[in-house]
Amino acid sequence: MAATGSEKQGAKAYYVTTPIYYVNDAPHLGHAYTTVAGDVLTRWHRQRGEKVWFLTGTDEHGQKIMRTAEANNVTPQAWCDKLVEEAWKPLWEHLNIANDDFIRTTQKRHTDRVQEFVQDLYDKDEIYKGGYEGPYCVGCEEYKLPGDLIEAEDGTKLCPIHKKPVEILKEENYFFKLSEYGPKLLEFYEANPGFIQPESARNEVVNFVKQGLQDLSISRSTFDWGIPIPWDEKHVIYVWVDALLNYATAVGYNENPAKFDETFPANVHLVGKDILRFHAVIWPAMLMAQGLPVPGRVAANGWLMVGGEKMSKSNLTGIKPQDLTSHFGVDAYRWYFLRAIAFGSDGSFSWEDFTARYTSELANDYGNLASRVAAMVGKYFGGELPASTADGDAEKAIHEGLAKAVATADAKIGEELDFQAGILAIFDFVKQVNGYITEQEPWKVAKDDSPEGKARLATILYTAAESLRAVAVLLNPIMPETSQALWESLGAEASLGALAEQPVQSSGMWGQLPAGATVTKGAVLFPRLEDPKKD
């Protein structure tokens, strides 16, 4: 159960982060999937009335960025500036991402604090100088263990994620004593079984740590695009140490103690499963070494795979989110991936599946319900919402169905990060309301001119409209534009205030839509789709 308003005074913010994304290229579906999930989660908690902080941003240092910039004949900084301003920030705005901050690892507020953090570890004898030789994947920006590699047909050793040959690097580096934190991490995992999600990911990390950790190279000396080591500027800080620290530097580490204390650590780090070890092993070990609190949860989403034959692009990175939003709309895009794929599992995308779900659930079940109810209030009551005076068992079932949907969605989305189950609970209620209208047959009841008949018709239509009011609240974190349009068509805005201020729990409190509200039939929420153009 969410805390009351009085309990929230001075409470720590509910702090959610996405990974900071490499700017070696424009964002693709996978980046948007994680970011939309973070946006829905934080919007949900905002509607609970909680203090929230949502962070995203870009990772701009490292060898991969340097090589990409060189290939495009520009400086690394110029490349990063261009991609951030022309691709990343515009996409988040397009997708209605309501992040509270956007951090770039080239910003001084970050680079200075990273140097201070690393200097503190060095002063505490947590860092030492040594040499290292091993296979390195530039795409991952990570030294690989020999056992992690896969072998091509010609015997070449490949990164298991990028399927590209690794480079054998030999450098003099500085090392963080990660190996000493294995027992502490295992003890922490045991005491906090929900720290890593899903369960399969937790098991993988625990087994990895049990095999014994190697000390972590935290510097590079063969290139200079990075944050200099403060005591030895021939080295730059390893890009992953740099990147992970954004979660602290963005909320005032060593700069704004009040902000830091009320925000850090993150309640939830949303990450792709390919970067889970960095967040579930290296990051908490770094925090333990510095005496800082460890995050509440690291939740790894699966990979998005492109299925079906109607997409002409051959892989995920070739599909822009705008390719889909231009056809299905932004709200449907935000809804689809969280509805179709269980968060934490791999999932496939296809035009066919998106189109089928859009037509069945959004257009037919939800959109058609909104249109029918508005049309009947207009036809039978001149657009003025009647009062409900003849409730019976059928209405009681609707009230109970809504209460169940609210409780389930709040638990699944707000606590368990099971977006799919939460959305399904809401749409099960939508189906229940459709069934209620079919069974009650208001078009037949309207033929009864008796006082009892008019009261019954009024009750049916009020029940349907009030159900839609509740659905608009529940779906607002997922589909904010559509919810606002429905909210306004129900005449709710003037009497109930801004939709985003309505707590999700209030959806279960019946009777908030006032009788006498003006109901109008606005634009169709989810228009029929034309066949997409084939490439």
CA 135 to chain centre: 33
Widest Cα–Cα separation across the chain = 91
Distance of alpha carbon 245 from alpha carbon 253, whole angstroms: 9
CA 87 to chain centre: 19
Catalytic residue among 129, 313, 396, 444: 313
> What are the CB-based long-range contacts (under 8 Å, 24+) for 425-431?
426/471, 426/474, 426/475, 427/361, 427/365, 427/366, 428/401, 429/401, 429/402, 429/404, 429/405, 429/467, 429/471, 430/365, 430/366, 430/369, 430/471, 431/365
Judge whether 159 counts as a catalytic residue.
yes
Judge whether 140 counts as a catalytic residue.
yes
Catalytic residue among 124, 129, 162, 396: 162
Catalytic residue among 45, 159, 235, 273: 159
Judge whether 313 counts as a catalytic residue.
yes
Eight-class DSSP state of 85: I
Catalytic residue among 31, 235, 269, 412: 31
Catalytic residue among 45, 61, 80, 140: 140
Catalytic residue among 8, 157, 259, 310: 310
Give the β-pairing of 127-137 and 167-176. Answer: antiparallel
| Burial per residue of 407-432, b for 16 or more beta-carbon CB atoms within 10 angstroms, e otherwise | ebbbebbbeebbbbbbbbbbbebbeb
Residue 433 · residue 462 · CB < 8 Å: no
Judge whether 162 counts as a catalytic residue.
yes
Signed CA dihedral, 42, 53, 277, 287: sign only: negative
- Report which residue type is found at 412: K
163: alpha, beta or left, given left = phi > 0 and alpha = psi -120 to 50? Answer: left
Residue linked to tokens 């990409």: 68
Which two tokens mark 367?
Answer: 């959109």
Catalytic residue among 137, 144, 273, 327: 137
Judge whether 28 counts as a catalytic residue.
yes
Active site residues: 28, 31, 137, 140, 159, 162, 310, 313
